[in-house]
Amino acid sequence: MASRDAPCADGEGPTGNEPDQEPRSPCTPPKGTCASPTGACAAPPPSPPCAPGGSRDPQCTAGPSGAPEGAVGGSWRPNTVEEFLGMKGVEQMFAVTPLPWCPHLTEVRPLPSRGLDAGAPCAVCGSTAENWVCLTCYTVCCSRFVEEHMLYHRLETEHNLVLSYSDLSVWCYACDSYVDNRIIFPHKNAAHISKFGEALPGMP
């Protein structure tokens, strides 16, 4: 370890002409200079920017308001769904509330004796990506995100209530809303048994 009074090994010590500089060891290069023998200096990498509402980067210690964390240290982590969505740039959340009743529930027909097959393909295109089953005639067709064949089925038949094999939700085309009513619980249960091999909680 070099002594503070010893000259630098390369012969470059302080000149005494560096005003307003912090005290440094004689072997510490002045700010803005480079200790590399080639003279080529690489600028230190900039600190990574913090994402809005904090960051998961370990070098970022900003909290939700952008202020640094306290003495406890550590990178900021979201504690609520609102904070997490804020990190992703989502400013407002929307809740989807299904109708407890709709006038088209009378269109629902009893389950077929064979039950439901959550893996059945679309009757038109054969897709199994994302399908719905009509609760009136039990035709299976694909969603509007595939080839829209269930929408075409509704336009042709005016059957309004359909059940999703993806998330077991029920949609009413006429009401333009999801519906959750006891009348359709057996249908959801049959789809759940087909999809997961067990009944819904609370269902026989």
The pLDDT tens digits for 114-161 are 999 999 999 999 999 999 999 999 999 999 999 999 999 999 999 999
Domains identified in the chain, total number: 1
Q: Is 53 left (phi over 0), alpha (psi -120 to 50) or beta?
A: left
Does a structural domain hold residue 12?
Answer: no
CA-to-CA separations, 57 to 46, 49, 119, in angstroms, rounded: 13, 9, 42
Residue 33 has pLDDT above 50, yes or no: no
State mean pLDDT over 37-59: 49
CATH number at residue 139: 3.30.40.10
Of residues 20 and 93, which shows the higher confidence score?
93
Does a structural domain hold residue 101?
Answer: no
State mean pLDDT over 8-35: 49
* pTM of the entire predicted model: 0.56
pLDDT at position 2 is: 46
pLDDT at position 87 is: 75
Does a structural domain hold residue 98?
Answer: no
Does a structural domain hold residue 29?
Answer: no
Distance of alpha carbon 88 from alpha carbon 141, whole angstroms? 34
Most confident of 33-37, 60-64, 189-193: 189-193
Residue 91 has pLDDT above 90, yes or no: no
Q: Whose CA is closest to 142, among 158, 60, 134?
A: 134
pLDDT at position 189 is: 97
Does a structural domain hold residue 108?
Answer: no
Does a structural domain hold residue 118?
Answer: yes
* DSSP code, position 162: E
Intra-chain end-to-end CA distance of the chain, in Å:
79
Strand partners, 152: none
Does a structural domain hold residue 25?
Answer: no
Does a structural domain hold residue 105?
Answer: no
pLDDT in tens, 66-82: 544 444 445 667 777 67
Q: Other CB atoms closer than 10 Å to residue 161's CB: what's the count?
A: 28
Of residues 186 and 16, which shows the higher confidence score?
186
Q: Which domain holds residue 183?
A: 114-196
